[in-house]
Amino acid sequence: MAEATARTALLALLRRDLLLVWRRRGDALQPVLFAVLTITLFPLALGSDAAFLARIAAGVIWVAVVLAGMLSLDALFRSDLDDGSLEQLLLSPQPLALLIFGKVLVHWLTTAVPVLLATPLFAAMLQLDSNLYAVLLLSLLLGTPLLSLIGAVVVALTVGMKRSGMLLALLALPLYVPVLIFGAGSVMAAAQGLPYLGALLVLGAALALALVLAPLAAAAAIRIALS
């Protein structure tokens, strides 16, 4: 019975947050548009040398994905704090970590998944070898939810502060760097014919660990921030 109630609460939260995102779908498109603009500028600034663009393609796409995800990171709990919904989540009989996981899932679905769908286009723009598309997509599938989970903990630590955008970036970027290194590094290793599964396995292990620990850490941080 408790599991069914928790599942019902999680589904209701997902439905509510997805509906709110749909009503503000213009804002939801900003990460994708930012990634498109960022990636478009690189060929314009660096020239049309296909070999050079192919060498930097994985790094450029990963940097664009990281920066695009940070655009909406501050809004992860901000609107709930402003309208009082966050306090209601604290008072809910359901586990707060489970509800936070639902909010992180919505953030990933609405910010990372559209960028993932556009990744083949980005790769073609940067002349990336089509044989590397699968490695790039797999690295992003493992890395982007990890970025959202790490970001949720950082946002929870700063949720009680006003105008925390700069502090949020300073806290999140150092934690994002290892994900960026392993994500882009796996594609670059595959391009050079080197073993790349190790980097993907590290991302997978980090994601599994974050799925368990990040919602718990974010829940504890929110309780402290709002106490």
CB neighbours of 138 closer than 8 A, spacing ≥ 6? 186, 200
pLDDT for the residue numbered 109: 86
pLDDT for the residue numbered 211: 93
Pair 65, 35: CB distance under 8 Å: yes
Residue type at 77 in one-letter notation = F
SS3 127: coil
pLDDT for the residue numbered 160: 67
Residue type at 170 in one-letter notation = L
Ranges under pLDDT 50 in the chain? none
Buried b (16+ CB within 10 A) or exposed e, 146-170: bbbbbbbbbbbbbbeeeebeeebee
The half-sphere exposure of 146 on its side-chain side, counting CA atoms within 13 A, is 23
Q: 193 is in which domain, residue-wise?
A: 2-226
**Residue 123: other Cβ atoms inside 10 A:** 23
Quick one: tokens of 111?
């910010």
Pair 213, 151: CB distance under 8 Å: no
CB neighbours of 56 closer than 8 A, spacing ≥ 6? 42, 46, 126
Strand blocks (E) in the chain:
none
Predicted TM-score (pTM) of this structure:
0.88
Q: Count structural domains, the chain.
A: 1
Q: Of 49, 66, 81, nearest to 146 (Cα)?
A: 66
CB neighbours of 55 closer than 8 A, spacing ≥ 6? 191
Residue with tokens 């014919």: 193
